[in-house]
Amino acid sequence: MPRKQSAILDYKLRIRESLRRRIEVAAKRRNVSLNFEMASRLERSFDQESQRSMDETAEHLKTVLERFAMAHHEANMLGDLVRATEALIETVQAGKDTTEAVARARQVIQMIDREATLGVRRMHTTGAMDGAGE
């Protein structure tokens, strides 16, 4: 029959004397029993492990969201270029003055070129060149 989760067990544990002394000092400092100090430290180690896992997941999620935002931004820029091009085509087909439509298309192209230049600067490298030439 399986034990209840609330059951308290007597468990023999082998540890070095130096570790037992450290636990004893910590238990006296907190004014708790040696057993309570050991059990508390074991439980905290599992909590810390869970916290590390959550921190790693949060960091991964942050990276994914940053990549998504960048892809979304790039898609918006391409959409701006498509709309500017469509406006230019409509203006030409209607036989109207193309000055404004051409200016808008050039503006979008310049924005994309600036973003591309900045994108290269934002790229991560191995760091092999960090500090070189300083």
Q: What is the pLDDT of residue 134?
A: 43
Asked if 42 and 19 count as a contact pair (C-beta separation under 8 A), the reply is no
Break the chain into its structural domains and give their ranges.
Answer: 17-121
Cα–Cα distance between 35 and 20 in angstroms, integer? 11
Tens digit of each residue's pLDDT (9 = 90 or more) over 1-19: 787 877 787 888 899 999 9
Cα–Cα distance between 37 and 24 in angstroms, integer? 8
- Say whether pLDDT at 93 is over 50: yes
pTM of the shown model: 0.42
Q: What is the pLDDT of residue 96?
A: 92
Tens digit of each residue's pLDDT (9 = 90 or more) over 32-54: 999 999 999 999 998 888 888 88
Q: What is the pLDDT of residue 127?
A: 56
